[in-house]
Amino acid sequence: MSDVSKLLASVGMRRRNPAAMRRAITASSDIAVAYLGDELVGFGRMISDLTYYGTIWDVAVREDLQGLGIGNQIMKLLLSKAKKSRLYMVGLVTSSDNKTFYEQLGFEFLEDVHAMTLELKRTPSSR
């Protein structure tokens, strides 16, 4: 899982401990990956209750390959799995820099809904 951790870090996301990332991926309902040869160049995952809701996390595409449709394919795969599970709603948390990308996929920014977090551990990537 060090390749996932490196990819996330390369696009400005928090680097993850490979063992912890393995547990997170195993606990995810769906994952989508993109490879160029042997190299992981795209990744995304969904956590879901498999009935009502899903949340998409950790979508990343190697910076020099962004804009080529890899992220779209990752998202389309995850969303198709959500549709097959007949989920009611899929959400995600993203930076404002990515807002247009997700809006083009049908996501809506909701003015009256705000992401909130509660940090339970000081360094979740160290587990």
Domain ranges of the chain: 2-92
State the amino acid at position 17 in one-letter form: N
Give me the pLDDT at residue 47, please.
97
Give me the pLDDT at residue 14, please.
84
Give me the pLDDT at residue 123, please.
57
The candidate with the shortest Cα–Cα distance to 56, out of 5, 113, 1, 107, is 107
In angstroms, the CA 98 to CA 3 distance is 22
Fold of 2-92: Aminopeptidase (3.40.630)
Give me the pLDDT at residue 6, please.
93
The candidate with the shortest Cα–Cα distance to 47, out of 4, 78, 22, is 78
Give me the pLDDT at residue 85, please.
93
In angstroms, the CA 32 to CA 55 distance is 14
Q: Which residues pair with 56 in a beta bridge?
A: 46, 92
Q: Please indicate, yes or no, whether the overall pTM of this predicted structure exceeds 0.85.
A: yes
Sheet (strand 53-61) strand order? 30-36, 39-48, 53-61, 89-92
- CB-based contacts of 82, cutoff 8 Å, min separation 6: 30, 46, 48, 54, 90
Local mean pLDDT, 10-residue blocks, the chain (127 residues): 90 89 95 96 96 96 96 97 95 88 92 82 56
Give me the pLDDT at residue 126, please.
47
Residue 36 token pair: 């160029």
HEC string of 67-93? Answer: CCCHHHHHHHHHHHHHHHCCCCEEEEC
